[in-house]
Structure 1
């Protein structure tokens, strides 16, 4: 069986061995490697690419290209992603939200390391029974400040491995690394909606997609809004499946963001109206802008959704001077 941590650790070690190239800083806390890839360190495009590939279980490479539509008359970068093992990569490695222990929740914690921990109640259990027995692990944390000793110890305890084998990558929402790796979650954004609408995930053959990368802003609240806006209004996923057409027809009209009552508004506005609590925001908002599903059994295509470039323009122009 493939070990996503064995493969991901190789990539994490590249940053440890060559921090200047990746523009990261490496710290040792309780013996674990804590890699600052976008808090105090700059963490450039190469670091962003590497971290995103780690979140794909180091099973597929990602590329950076140009978003095909102009936003406010400007072309922006886009991250292009491919996934040959969609449930393993997106649910086991990429999806965020993990209860470390009762009452201690880390809403922006992800990475292959959760497959070593396999804690009861983790969302991963809804998707797969995969577990990784590798003796090393990689986790990513979206956080505006560096990890404290207590937080690192929590992760060491959760994974249950020797701290020397744990690699924790930290980046703020307002960083290049976070902007790229969250935009790359366009496939995970689609996968969880398919599951919620009762689509059989065993039907999925492969997936690929792209999403515009938002401009970086050194304000974590505005940055968080932008990275969610690009998924809802500027990302497309394409899933190849093998099933009856009727199974696709039952879900295709439900899984894009334009089906949500809050559609057409910046995520930041919605988030603030719901008490700045991700879990109070309507789940339908965590949906992709556009989806194409190709049924290889019949050759038919099914598509839904649209880009909403005017909202992206508003989001990308929103600055610290516009905050309430």
Structure 2
């Protein structure tokens, strides 16, 4: 740990996050994980060659948000959310934690590897439209990220990350887990606030006016190993049909009133079916899915300037039960 508490605050987000990933097997104290290396880059495997764990999932979510949010596992009502536990997130720095770090906006693709990249390393690359539009960048000698994948990144993928982030491979730290693992499920459903923030940005709302945020989404049972479509489906459905987000903003009431109904997932024409089915119907092409779908089930906005509250959206436990494979076991 740091002897000087102020020193940590002076570090870049990437440099701080680098301290949370063990550098060697002897440093590893996170249940269900192991440390590996590819081309000098450090990998924290939380669900490929190891089973992962809830603790590993919380760590991945923390890394993904650059340490600018608190993430926890909390109980919930299965009659409302289909399962008994969910992931609760709160942050007083939603712009950086969600759009600057957590949003999976970097497709890391080479001839022999593909994964969506998230985490504070996106701030180093700084090429995504959402980052350039909001001026979200930082310099750092470390690059730290999270990959959703069922295999380790190749040498060419590490070289690409190093080139785009302007660091040497030995300064790269990556936490990795598939969506079908415990840790992967946790870190994906920890994105409830991020989906609302991104949706609002797409609707041209001034996201810099968002001061604080909380989010909750049910934690689905992991899908069968190797069944990536089911894994993606369950974690997406947790967001689309079970997530609730609350935002505290400073703006004119008119800005919220004119778009609040468009923020939740139910504003989409694709709403109402499990995401795995939607994905299949669009021939497994994300870009064919209505972009309005990718948002929380319910959104509440408290305007600090007027004292008014605006809410929209709805939960759908029936879709959650179907998606999570629980319909028969719950007797419905």
Give the TM-score, by structure 2 length.
0.89
- The answer to whether 1:108 aligns with 2:116 is yes
1:208 matched to 2:214? The reply is yes
**Structure 2 counterparts to residues 46-85 of structure 1, below 5 A:** 46-70=55-79, 75-85=83-93
Distance (Å, rounded) in 2 between the aligned partners of 1:104 and 1:287: 31
**Is 1:95 aligned with 2:103?**
yes
Q: Which residue is equivalent to 1:22?
A: 31
Range that drifts further, 61-70 or 13-22: 13-22
- Alignment partner of 1:276: what SS? coil
Structure 1 distance, partners of 2:102, 2:191, is: 7
User: Take 1:99 and 1:108, find their aligned partners in 2: how far apart are those partners?
Assistant: 5
Which whole-Å CA distance do the structure 2 matches of 1:22 and 1:7 have between them? 22
Q: Tell me, yes or no, if the aligned pair for 1:56 and 1:83 is still in contact at 8 Å.
A: no
1:184–1:210 Cα contact (<8 Å) kept: yes
Give the match for residue 185 of structure 2: 179
Aligned-pair CA distance for 1:162: 2.0
Question: Aligned-pair distance for 1:177?
Answer: 1.2
Give 1:301 deviation, angstroms: 0.7
Structure 1's 104 and 290: CA in aligned 2 closer, same or farther, altered over 3 A? farther
Residues 263-302 of structure 1: per-residue CA shift (max 9 Å, x gap): 1100011111112111221101101100000011111111
TM-score by length of 1: 0.91
> Structure 1 residues 14, 75: closer, same or farther in 2, change over 3 A?
farther
Q: Which residue of 2 aligns with 1:236?
A: 244
- Report whether the alignment pairs 1:309 with 2:317: yes
1:169 aligned partner? 175
How many angstroms does 1:235 deviate by?
Answer: 0.4
- Give the alignment's Cα RMSD to 1 decimal: 2.3
Tell me what 1:322 maps to.
none
State the 1:107 CA deviation: 5.6
Cα distance in 2 for partners of 1:16, 1:243 equals: 49
Post-superposition Cα deviations, 1:235-281, rounded to whole Å, max 9, x if no partner, equal 00100001111111011011111111121100011111112111221
> Aligned residue for 1:33?
42
CA distance in 2 between counterparts of 1:306 and 1:126 reads 33
Using the alignment, how far apart are the partners of 1:79 and 1:102 within structure 2?
33
Task: Go from structure 1 to structure 2 and tell me whether the alpha carbon gap of 1:201 and 1:2 turns closer, same or farther (over 3 Å shift).
Answer: farther
**Alignment equivalent of 1:11, drawn from 20, 29, 41:** 20
Q: Give, in angstroms, the shift of residue 231 of structure 1.
A: 0.4
**1:86-110 deviations in Å (ceiling 9; x for gaps):** 1111111111122558999956211
Structure 2 gap ranges (5+): 1-9, 328-332
Name which of 194, 197, 203 aligns with 1:191: 197
For residue 123 of structure 1, the aligned residue among 129, 134, 137 is 129
Q: Distance in 1 between matches of 2:110 and 2:35?
A: 30
Match of 1:42 in 2: 51
Count residues with an aligned counterpart. 316
Going from structure 1 to structure 2, the CA distance change for 1:251 and 1:116 (only over 3 Å counts) comes to same
Report the secondary structure of 1:144's partner residue: coil
Aligned pair 1:288/2:296, yes or no? yes
Per the alignment, in what secondary structure is the counterpart of residue 248 of structure 1? helix
Q: Describe the shift of the 1:256–1:103 C-alpha distance in structure 2 as closer, same or farther (beyond 3 A).
A: farther
Partner Cα distance (1:97, 1:205) in 2: 23
Structure 1: which 4+ aligned runs deviate by more than 4 Å? 14-17, 99-107
